[in-house]
Amino acid sequence: MSNNDIPILGDVQETMLGPLWARATYCVSYPKILNDPKAAQIIKDVSYDFTEIKKYLDEWRALGLLVRAKSFDEALKDYIDKYPNATVVNIGAGLDTTFYRVDNGTIKWYDLDLPNAIQYRRKFLAETSRNKFIAKSAFDYSWFDNIEFSQERGIFFIAGGFIYYFKEEEISFLLSAMAERFPGGEIIFDCISKLAVKVGNKRAKKYGSKEPVWHLAIGNPEKKISLWSNKIKVIDWFTMWARTSINADWSEKTQKMIKMTERLKTAKIVLLKFI
């Protein structure tokens, strides 16, 4: 079966290709933000016309995807330093390559995504004894049973570009269920503001989307998430660019957009602990 024989994907799953393209393209120029040779390798084998993605992901958006990945990597490495035999679950994995950037040789990793997304992932990435794929919706809680878990070893979840595609009820129920099943675990994800949801949906419509694609908005993470469960605690959060320096070589538009979105706090990284 060739790459072209695989049906691409639904509207949500197709978003796996944008982050892959951004990481593969911009990590070459900015390896100090993110060094992702696996993404650069995969992109050469993907049979897909990236013309529209290149238009949709201009420089500042693409760089934001690098910064998100960097933030996740840093949190993961800190966790793995404390729990070298940890279990890690990548929710909505798509063609994500985080495992290859942070693997210490002993972690157990699961990439979770919808069946057709996992089918597509298998064309470019192989399972191993420590890196397994789970072809299920994150909202099919039966995936909990596929995870090897012990509090002693630790468990960490990442969910990049995931939560704002769903409604608050869906996400709050999911995280509450995870907190019950995986006490002591941690999860890192990115979230966006009401303004970002509104602007993003307007832009998606311009590019052909008939329905809103983004739903959940989070302003103050501690205030919002504290309402979901008393077993979930925000242990860190910061605006997307708060811990990454702006490069003077970037375009004037990119620098302006980064400063504006930071001032408005449109995108944030959130780290939670299940207690």
What pLDDT is stored for residue 2 in this prediction?
Answer: 41
Q: Cα 253 to chain center, whole Å?
A: 25
What is the Cα–Cα distance from 103 to 111, expressed in whole angstroms?
14
pTM: 0.94
How far apart are the C-alpha atoms of 51 and 48, rounded to whole Å? Answer: 9
CATH number reported for the structural domain that contains residue 267 in this entry: 3.40.50.150
pLDDT of residue 54: 87
Q: Could you give phi then psi for residue 274, rounded to 5 degrees?
A: -90, 120
Residue 204: what pLDDT? 85
Give the amino acid at 113.
D
pLDDT at 15: 77
Q: In what order do the strands lie in the sheet with 131-135?
A: 131-135, 108-113, 87-91, 155-159, 186-192, 267-274, 232-239
Q: Among residues 161, 102, 158, 168, which one has the least CA distance to residue 130?
A: 102
pLDDT for res 49: 85
Q: What does pLDDT average to in each consecutive run of 10 residues of the chain (275 residues)?
A: 43 74 96 97 90 88 97 98 98 97 98 93 95 98 98 98 97 98 98 97 87 96 96 98 96 97 98 98
- State residue 11's pLDDT score: 54
| Number of domains within the chain | 1
Query: Residue 125 is part of which domain span?
Result: 3-274
pLDDT of residue 4: 42
Confidence at residue 208, expressed as pLDDT on a 0 to 100 scale: 82
DSSP the chain: --GGGSPP--TTGGGGHHHHHHHHHHHHH-TTT---HHHHHHHTT-----HHHHHHS-HHHHHHHHHHHHHHHHHHHHHHHH-TT-EEEEET-TT--HHHHH--SS-EEEEEE-HHHHHHHTTT----SSEEEEES-TTSGGGGGGS---TTT-EEEEETT-GGGS-HHHHHHHHHHHHHHSTT-EEEEEEE-HHHHHHHHHHHHHTT-SS-------SSHHHHHTTT-TTEEEEEEEETTTTSPPPTTS-HHHHHHHHHHHHHT-EEEEEEEE-
pLDDT at 14: 59
